[in-house]
Amino acid sequence: MRLVPCCDILQVFDEKNNLIKDYTYWKLLIRNSNTTLGNCVAIANRHMERFSEITNDEMEEFAHVVKDVETALNKAFSYDKINYLMLMMKDKHVHFHIIPRYSALRKFAGFEWVDDFQPDPLMQRHPDVSKEVLQQVRNKIIENI
């Protein structure tokens, strides 16, 4: 199953450059804007606007996505906790923001990554991260998945 042509979520999250792993029912991508080190997004391959439309097979595979991403992020960056957010405020397509949280500064790719523990981690102030740095983060996750 693939996305319906009218949905642009894969362009929004830049699948071409940000894909980490393509599953049968899901895609795992590095998030374009990393507010904390290793932010990812899991996007359903099939267009759904309601999570209640998910099939048993899609849900079962999502459990594998969660295990893969948590293992990879832990090996790569040793996060302290992880948040999953399904907001769909702009992109009306089932997807989860995966946000690793850190109690202390992390250094990676020449940056000091600070998690200020805002209740909404997507609202954190963060330095602008170049596409090159983002690719280094992506590649580190791929190495550990």
pLDDT tens-digit series, residues 40-62: 999 999 999 999 999 999 999 99
The CATH number assigned to the domain holding 71 equals 3.30.428.10
Residue 102 lies in a domain: yes
Residue 3 lies in a domain: no
Element (H, E) at 113: strand 111-113
Cα–Cα distances in angstroms (integers) from residue 140 to residues 5, 54, 65, 135, in the given order: 31, 30, 17, 8
Structural domain boundaries enclosing 38: 9-144
**Which whole number is the average pLDDT over 81-103?**
88
Residue 2 lies in a domain: no
Q: How far apart are CA 103 and CA 81, in angstroms?
A: 9
Residue 126 lies in a domain: yes
pLDDT level of residue 34 (50, 70, 90 thresholds): confident
Q: How far apart are CA 85 and CA 79, in angstroms?
A: 17
Residue 4 lies in a domain: no
pLDDT given for residue 122 in this prediction: 60
> Which range among 56-65, 92-101, 106-115, 118-127 shows the weakest confidence by mean pLDDT?
118-127
Q: Strand order of the sheet with strand 81-85?
A: 19-22, 26-30, 40-44, 95-101, 81-85
Residue 52 lies in a domain: yes
Total domain count, the chain:
1
Smallest CA-to-CA distance from 18 within 28, 8, 3 is with 28
Residue 77 lies in a domain: yes
The whole-model pTM stands at 0.89
Residue 1 lies in a domain: no
